[in-house]
Chains A and B, each alone.
Chain A
């Protein structure tokens, strides 16, 4: 049991106890949002997080070889190790104006919810535990991971998990939003770009029988749409983005298609990747263009059952705080833990909006302390052993 300097508060009381820290949480959120951090260039956010860890007196704060920010908070008994991970990168390029605005209800800024809010929850956690007078028995590892999104392909957390050299008993992925998400499984996923360009022809215009990349890509799309998909296991091909050309009267030299394959079966994902690779190669030959299928991001289908004690205790904490649990799937770094047989969940800190065509990225202020309280409640529950597996529960 935790030996704490004050009695352990009831979970539902924690949000109110955290009220004096609200501005510090907001300040960390604003600061992190305003630091541009495209994947592979998260150095300033890493530095910020490490400064916070050092200020909070964490015994061991630094980076690993890939650049993740890591802080260790030693427990009293070291009887288990809990990993809390928040990715630090953002989909926004450094050239975007990252200035944040704050009104009494929300914080508005690019990537505020994904994932500056999650990182802010992590940065403040040592201060939160100190403020509440809580000292856990378990060791905590706080991980601000780099190169998570897009072509980063979870490189930061993968590197950490493969090289940290110690057993992780339990993991919590901290996302900025939505409050209430309780993800305990991941779907097999592959994201790929198909890039079609005019084949060089020694300075002359185009090869005999060659076609416009845009037309070729359209042909590829038609063929992908013709691939029969099973109803079971659940499988879907999403055509997410397409780009070609600038003018009405000039055929483009390059056309790009971005797609995602998701399935409850990793075999099905692999099989579809193979099929698409074949039809892409055939199109390249048939229409005399250079065309590449580049599956740059893959995750495996994995999960823990809803009956797992970790899921149960997270749901219980949410229930005590009046948070409605949403157990549907959303992509996150969770799959990296689950694939390595580490029981883990993804949770969100607050509610908000991202990637909306008319509503700028923002997060709501009011639910934030409840979101942080949820994190504390989950940690306490895990620390008490309530998430430990009985021998009957298979990972």
Chain B
């Protein structure tokens, strides 16, 4: 399947999957289970609404999802309390598989979701979506239930950013356009067809997710794309237009640190795949500057994209999900 063919055949709009009853029938016919994971860190403003909407529509009204879990990175606000109040299973990432050490980051939560959640299909949705709607889940699950060859579905959208109380019609995706797309164009041209590689919403089959490593920080989305592409090729992917997504804006400096983490992840893979040879180990310090009263101060951020191994390599995981073969 070439890139143009893939774009034509594997790019969907969420409205293609509006018939949730049909999706439930497909799910039951295929005998698969679906888990929804919401990774959180201080999301008290949006988590309640997300859980209520998704649980009401996709568990209570139509049984598309079998479980909703919040995996938290140590929120200091009321995120966990609110999530619990509306019926989500709440886990604190640091308390899961503690024998493997504690890492902090969204990727850590996603990796541990593989261990904690039961579903054959896992859906990951960021917890900061202002305009949450069931399409954020069924739009991603749809291609997986419709096409057996699809193993991983990525969201894309038009992302207005909330400034005060006013919606700006376009914006977002700066790291994608300035960093990811040039990198993919250079080294992974097929992946340029993924319109928003850094979107926080995606769904995948456990059978592939358990076989790839997870960077614990900023690089997790990029790594998933590269690693799944390496194992299964472009045909394993699909993408769905979820229309508008309202989220918080991030400062450019924060995006700079994000880009630094992602670059480490990509460099690691380029070296692993022998597409690039680094003559020395890369530093992990990201330097930024702030100006105040005519003086300039250098800020140093130590950003290390630690990676978790494929979950299938973890003994506790194999014991939980493949106990028959272990014994």
Residues of A bordering B, CB below 8 Å: 20-21, 23-24, 26-28, 30-31, 34, 55, 96-97, 99-104
**How many residues of B are in contact with the other chain, CB < 8 A?**
26
The smallest C-beta distance from A24 to any residue of chain B, in angstroms, reads 4
Additional 6 contacts, C-beta under 8 A, given A26-B56, A30-B49, A102-B82: A21-B60, A23-B86, A24-B61, A27-B56, A34-B131, A102-B86
Interface centre among B56, B82, B86 (most CB of A within 10 A): B56
Q: A101-B46, A104-B78, A104-B82 are in contact. Are A27 and B52 (CB under 8 A)?
A: yes
Is A23 in contact with B78, judged by CB distance below 8 angstroms? no
Is A24 in contact with B85, judged by CB distance below 8 angstroms? no
Cβ contact of B130, chosen from A20, A21, A27, A99, cutoff 8 A: A99
A residues within 8 A CB of B48? Answer: 101-104
Q: Is B304 an interface residue (CB 8 A)?
A: no
* Bound-complex Cα distance A44 to B99 (A): 52
Nearest residue (CB) in A for B78 is A103
Is B52 in contact with A97, judged by CB distance below 8 angstroms? no
A residues within 8 A CB of B57? Answer: 27
The smallest C-beta distance from A105 to any residue of chain B, in angstroms, reads 9
Interface residues of B in 136-157 (CB under 8 A from A): none
Is B167 in contact with A27, judged by CB distance below 8 angstroms? no
Q: Is B274 an interface residue (CB 8 A)?
A: no
Interface residues of B in 78-116 (CB under 8 A from A): 78, 81-82, 85-87
Nearest residue (CB) in A for B130 is A99
Is A23 in contact with B60, judged by CB distance below 8 angstroms? yes
Is A101 in contact with B52, judged by CB distance below 8 angstroms? no
A residues within 8 A CB of B51? Answer: 23
A-B CB proximity, top 5 nearest: A102-B48, A27-B56, A104-B85, A23-B56, A102-B49
A-B contact pairs, 25 of them (CB 8 A): A20-B60, A21-B60, A23-B51, A23-B52, A23-B56, A23-B86, A24-B56, A27-B55, A27-B57, A34-B131, A96-B165, A97-B162, A97-B167, A99-B130, A99-B246, A100-B49, A101-B45, A101-B49, A102-B52, A102-B82, A103-B78, A103-B82, A104-B78, A104-B81, A104-B86
Tell me the dominant secondary structure on chain A's binding face: helix
Q: Is B67 an interface residue (CB 8 A)?
A: no
The smallest C-beta distance from B84 to any residue of chain A, in angstroms, reads 8
* Bound-complex Cα distance A24 to B61 (A): 8
The smallest C-beta distance from A310 to any residue of chain B, in angstroms, reads 33
A residues within 8 A CB of B167? Answer: 97
Q: A27-B53, A30-B52, A31-B53 are in contact. Are A103 and B44 (CB under 8 A)?
A: yes
Nearest residue (CB) in A for B164 is A97
B residues within 8 A CB of A26? Answer: 52, 56, 86
* Bound-complex Cα distance A101 to B128 (A): 11
The smallest C-beta distance from A180 to any residue of chain B, in angstroms, reads 24
Q: Chain B 241-265, CB within 8 Å of chain A: the 1/0 string?
A: 0000010000000000000000000
* Bound-complex Cα distance A55 to B131 (A): 23
Q: Chain B 42-82, CB within 8 Å of chain A: the 1/0 string?
A: 00111011011101110011000000000000000010011
A residues within 8 A CB of B55? Answer: 23, 27
Nearest residue (CB) in A for B59 is A23
The smallest C-beta distance from B33 to any residue of chain A, in angstroms, reads 20
Nearest residue (CB) in B for A28 is B56
A residues within 8 A CB of B166? Answer: 97
Cβ contact of B53, chosen from A30, A96, A103, A104, cutoff 8 A: A30
Interface residues of B in 204-240 (CB under 8 A from A): none
* Bound-complex Cα distance A200 to B172 (A): 50
Is A23 in contact with B87, judged by CB distance below 8 angstroms? yes
* Bound-complex Cα distance A26 to B49 (A): 9
B residues within 8 A CB of A104? Answer: 48, 78, 81-82, 85-86
* Bound-complex Cα distance A156 to B162 (A): 35
